[in-house]
A and B are shown apart, each in its own frame.
Chain A
Amino acid sequence: MADQTLIRKQTTVEPATKPERTSWEEWRGEVTALTRRWFLQLVRERLNLLLSITQPAIWLLFFGSALGRAIDRDAIGTSNYVGFMLAGVIAFTVVTNTVTGAMPLLWDKETGYLDKLLSMPIARSSLIVSRFLFQFALGTAQVLLVFLVAVATAVDVASGPVGAIVILAAAGLLSMALTALSTALAYRVPSHGTFFAIMGFVTLPLVFLSNAFVPLDSMPPWMAIVARLNPLTYAIEAMRILVLDGWDGSVVRALAVLGLFAVASLAVGAYEFRRHTGERVR
């Protein structure tokens, strides 16, 4: 019974002469199923779930209260240290997520589970899109919580509710770009050892050679130049200005740079993924 309906549907949707394609409905079903797999794994690990979601909020409180007193208010240009830190903590969170977020893809690849998935009639893109959706949802939950904590403690978002949404979008954009890059790396490397070696090498400089915790103006000139080349700086800049100062032309400029970075990263990610699955048939 069941297979008859299935077969009839397939033959009407795609006669054998037409190039093979996944229908929109099928694609949505695939992405839903794969995303469900990621979420089930997360919710079964309670501690992982709890720490993942609350970590940025805890960091903000810790930095805000403990370090706040030790920081020179003039150097950061505001008396609101928590407000200053908010953008940095969000960016730091996104970076951490991208490292841990590529791990399941690495396991799937190394254990051979990816092969099993690739032998099924699914669009290659479903694999990546499901991971992006998962990362995006997790990231949004984290950022929302850290935002609520910030607002509850000391911070007034200068750009108002619309600004808050733009901040969320900027975090999402950054997350997408970095996830694309770490995904590309995960498919590229011969094994997870290399992946973690490269990630360990890159992440700290990425965060500390940006304006995450120190404003560009307080940096030695060489450092400020390096930080200007760091895409993280633009994401943080946009978010920080929206929190502290409200709407401003430089926000648009920073967001534009961030957008370009995201597009380039997605292209690299798509290329690497196709290359890796290309050793197989198409």
Chain B
Amino acid sequence: MTRVIDTESLTRAFGERLAVDHLDLHVDSGDIFGLLGPNGAGKTTTIRMLTTLLTPTSGTARVCGFDVSGQPGEVRRRIGYVMQSVPWQVNRLLKAREIVEIEAALHHVPRHTRRDLVDEALDLVGLLAHADRTIGEFSGGMHKRLDLACGLLHQPELLVLDEPTLGLDVQSRHRVWDYVVGLRDKGVTVLLATNYLDEADRLCNRLTIVDKGSSVVTGSPTELKRAVAADVVQVATAAPHRLQAAIAGEPWVKNTVLTESNELHIYVEDASVALPAVMRLSLAHDLRLERVAYTQPSLDDVFLLHTGRELRDLEVGA
């Protein structure tokens, strides 16, 4: 296993505010590594440093074995970068094929293989049939797929995807996911920034949850969720605080968190033990329950437990 990304206390300040704050990232070859965090968490700033577009304020970052400040050219040769939003307007008069050809040339793809690679890349994202249309006519999903096609042309050692499904319709999201799954099967290393829980859960084998520029917790999605609890019981009641007090100290309770929407999340090892106990205690304390449900913990619970906030809410608010 070789390290593809290695950062140590990577930090970037804009004026007084730290957009990225002593971040340690370790990504191995073949990983689909997630950077999961709400808007403004510092994902793009991290990526801009890793792609040599922004100088770190302090700390170091090595990408594909090269220091981003010391040998940026070597880094650029080895990475593919699909920006959060590529401004397609500047190329609106160009045809999809022309854009990919130009990108291939800029990545020094040898002329004799360029044609095949361009077709291959367009085919991979399902745009071959639209190769000769000017991109001004494209939909949002098609633009994103075109960007993805460009990211892989030169067979980079690391592909960086910054929120690749942001603002896409469901169908387009699934196409992008299929594309990333295809990369995983080919062994391409991917750094995927996202604020969608389901996306990180579905695609990544490892991820770091970032909040306010710092890493909150790192691990595989399964590990992270398992560390929270085996089950989570969600209770909606008019008096969640009283319920929280009533169950505090019970041996079957691992942890409780009150969400911003005033739902009590009770983390337990076994819901079949916890559910009757919750019922019993609410009856004893004369608490009316509006809704009781249980599920396996999601990454949202991981985020909630570590930050006290819900990623899902932040998403909607954004």
The reply on B107 being an interface residue by CB < 8 A is yes
**By the criterion CB–CB under 8 Å, are A2 and B69 in contact?**
no
**Bound Cα distance A1, B116 (Å):** 11
Contact (A37, B94) CB under 8 Å given A112-B87, A116-B83: yes
Closest to B153 in A: A2
Judged by a CB distance under 8 angstroms, whether A41 is at the interface is yes
B52 interface residue (CB < 8 Å to A) = yes
**Is A74 among interface residues, defined by CB-CB distance under 8 A?**
no
Give the residue of A16, A119, A280 whose beta carbon is less than 8 angstroms from that of B55.
A280
Give 1 or 0 for each of B62-91: 1 = CB within 8 Å of chain A CB. 000000110111101101010101110111
Chain A residues with CB under 8 A of B98:
36, 40
Residues from chain A with Cβ under 8 Å of B85 in the complex? 112
Residue of B with least CB distance to A112: B87
Give every chain B residue within 8 A of A3 (Cβ-Cβ).
154-155
Given contacts A40-B93, A111-B90, A115-B53, whether A122 and B72 have CB atoms under 8 Å apart is: no
Please, which residue of chain A has its CB at the minimum distance from the CB of B106? A120
Tell me which of B55, B107, B134 contacts A279 (CB under 8 A): B55
Q: A30-B105, A111-B90, A113-B87 are in contact. Are A281 and B54 (CB under 8 A)?
A: yes
Question: Contact at A41–B94, with CB atoms within 8 Å?
Answer: yes
Interface centre among A16, A21, A112, A121 (most CB of B within 10 A): A121
Report the Cα distance A9→B154, complex, angstroms: 13
CB of A280 within 8 A of CB of B52, answer yes
**Given the known A-B contacts A1-B113, A281-B55, are A33 and B72 also in contact in the complex, defined by CB atoms under 8 Å?**
no
Is residue A66 contacting chain B, with contact meaning CB distance below 8 A?
no
A side interface size, CB within 8 A: 41
Q: Is the CB of A281 within 8 A of B53?
A: yes
A108 to chain B, nearest CB (A): 6
From residue A99, how far is it (CB to closest CB) to chain B in Å? 18
B residues near A37, Cβ cutoff 8 Å: 91, 94, 102
B109 on the A face (CB < 8 A): yes
Choose one: B68, B101, B111; the contact of A281 (CB below 8 Å): B68
* A132–B108 alpha-carbon span in the complex (Å): 21
A104 touches B107 (CB 8 A): no
Contact status A45-B93, CB under 8 Å: yes
| CB of B117 within 8 Å of the partner chain | yes
Chain B's closest residue to A43 (CB) is: B93
A30 neighbours in B (Cβ, 8 Å): 105-106, 108
A120 and B76 in contact (CB under 8 A), knowing A40-B98, A41-B94, A107-B90?
yes
Can you name the residue of chain A whose Cβ is closest to the Cβ of B95? A40
> Of A9, A41, A281, which contacts B110 at CB under 8 A?
A9
Residues of B within 8 A of A69 (CB): none
Q: Please, which residues of chain B bring their CB within 8 A of the CB of A1?
A: 113
Please tell me if the beta carbons of B116 and A20 are within 8 angstroms of each other in the complex: no
Q: Which A residues lie at the B interface, using CB under 8 A? A: 1-3, 5-6, 9-10, 16, 20-22, 26, 29-30, 32-34, 36-37, 40-41, 44-45, 104, 107-108, 111-113, 115-122, 279-282
Could you list which residues of chain B lie within 8 angstroms of chain A, going by C-beta atoms?
Answer: 48, 51-55, 68-69, 71-74, 76-77, 79, 81, 83, 85-87, 89-91, 93-94, 98, 101-103, 105-111, 113, 116-117, 134, 154-155
- Report the 9 A-B pairs with minimum CB-CB distance, sorted nearest first: A111-B87, A33-B105, A20-B73, A44-B93, A2-B113, A121-B76, A3-B155, A121-B77, A281-B72
Write 28 A-B pairs (CB below 8 A) sorted by A numbering: A2-B110, A2-B116, A6-B154, A20-B71, A26-B108, A30-B105, A30-B106, A33-B101, A44-B93, A45-B93, A107-B89, A111-B87, A111-B89, A111-B90, A112-B83, A112-B85, A112-B87, A116-B83, A118-B52, A119-B52, A119-B81, A120-B107, A279-B54, A281-B53, A281-B55, A281-B72, A282-B69, A282-B73
